[in-house]
Amino acid sequence: RVLMLYMRRILRLWLTSLAVSAMRFVPRDFRGSSTGTRLLTYRKRSGFVSDVLRGRALRATEGATEATEGYLDLELPSVMLCHTGRQLVQQRAGQEELVVAWQAPSILKALRVRLEEERVEAGMNAEPLSAKAVPRGDAATSPTEGKAPAGEAVDEVRGEVTVVPAVVLSDPNDVEAPLCVAVDVSHLDEEVVLASVGQAKGPGSEVLFMNTRELMVRAEPASLLDCGRARALLSWHNANKFCGKCGSPTVSVEGGVKRVCSNVETCGARVYPRTDPVAIMLVYDRARDRCLLGRSRRYRPGMYTCLSGFVEPAEPLEMAVRREVYEEAGIDVGNVQFVASQPWPVGRGGTCELMLGFLAEATSFDVLVNTSEMEDVRWFTRDEVQAAYDASVKYANSGGSPPEGVLWVPGNYAIAHFLVSTWLRKTADDFEE
């Protein structure tokens, strides 16, 4: 027993010496923090945010002025503000499409928010940098001091600095692209945020928060992509603030694409963004040249669409298609053909969904509607579907609704629109056996 204790002590001293030698390779900001050192094992590489900034750190640096200490350098990324699942957008004079109303990083100081990952970069055991960088109350530093660009001065919100999650939207591997970050400011009053932003907006532009679903028909494609990613990831962050294993707080790492449990000594669980797979299918009857469409009670009047449902755990996609069609309409399905997919950041359960689109051939034809899920499911002829599709192009693509009594399908923002158009382009001989 004495020999075992002696050997254990020697082994511990040897491992300690190895750890001390290895600290040469640990970034300076992680030294002295066992939490920070442990985080290195959870990250694709240390200092992810700093790497994205190409060496210009998000946290405070030596020699920074009091006005900008600890905050994003004003020359660095563009900031998208998000509030209760909506994104800040603007409509420029003479343009119909909405674009993201990108803000200078000085808006974060004005709104007194701190990015959650800044604290992780300094070590979670350390006091938040926001507690040191900015005085409280009336003694707070004016955002117009330091490097604030002309024309972008905003009134600073008084009170405590709030740590919020943020998501890097731009490609970190593209060193030429500007860094874009989405920040959730839902804890602030919307009017306060708009008042601060309004002083920095350009002439002739209207700035407002808009729901992601509305942006699907009103935003330009590049802005919609950024808004969708911001909506999906920030919603996930807000739903995973605590560890599901031990209940400890979790923190954001790797630019907002992962969260780790702060209890690294006994748990250290990693949490990844959730995406729910949904099978959506256009069921067709080849012999009679018709297709099956349905509607839920929550749909707008006259709208019919493809049947859909969540994929169950350990369930093949083809089986999910057949199960959902039988559950909702009592129709048996034979051949199933994958067509396309679409991310859907405004999922029914508040999560991001991945819509997996299929064409499915019916082998039985008597419809039995499951009224607990659907209001109506029925067969439509090719001429009826074409008329509904034309009404969709005329009204729904621009966010409107057809007149009362007109049947229509979802607009071109939804994969159901694409599945319907795919079926309309095909003839009976084009379908696979």
- Residues 266-287: tens digit of each pLDDT: 998 999 998 999 999 999 999 9
User: How much is the mean pLDDT over the chain?
Assistant: 76
d(CA 188, CA 108): 12
Chain centre distance of CA 392: 27
The per-residue pLDDT for 246 is 93
User: Under a CB-based contact definition with an 8 Å cutoff, are residues 281 and 334 in contact?
Assistant: no
Q: 275-425 has which CATH code?
A: 3.90.79.10
- With CA atoms as reference, report the closest residue to 90 among 180, 205, 167, 11: 205
Chain centre distance of CA 316: 26
Q: Residue with structure tokens 């002739």? A: 204
Q: Tell me the CA distances in angstroms from 61 to 115, 168, 314, one per residue in order.
A: 16, 21, 49
Using the 8-state DSSP alphabet, how is residue 303 labeled? B
The answer to which of 60-74, 88-102, 272-286, 375-389 has the lowest mean pLDDT is: 60-74
The per-residue pLDDT for 26 is 32
Segment 255-266 shows an average pLDDT of: 89
Q: Is a pLDDT exceeding 60 seen at residue 55?
A: no
Pairing type for strands 113-115 and 162-164 reads parallel
The per-residue pLDDT for 142 is 28
Q: In degrees rounded to 5, what are phi and psi of residue 121?
A: -60, -30
d(CA 106, CA 312): 45
Percent above pLDDT 90 for the chain:
45
The per-residue pLDDT for 283 is 97
User: Under a CB-based contact definition with an 8 Å cutoff, are residues 295 and 304 in contact?
Assistant: yes
d(CA 236, CA 257): 10
At residue 229's C-alpha, the angle toward residues 209 and 187, to 5°, is 45
d(CA 40, CA 32): 14
pLDDT classification of 433: cutoffs 50, 70, 90: low
**What ranges in 263-337 are assigned the alpha helix state H?**
317-329
Q: Is a pLDDT exceeding 70 seen at residue 41?
A: no
Domain locations in the chain?
96-113+164-235, 241-273, 275-425
d(CA 210, CA 227): 10
Q: Tell me the CA distances in angstroms from 8 to 1, 3, 19, one per residue in order.
A: 11, 9, 16
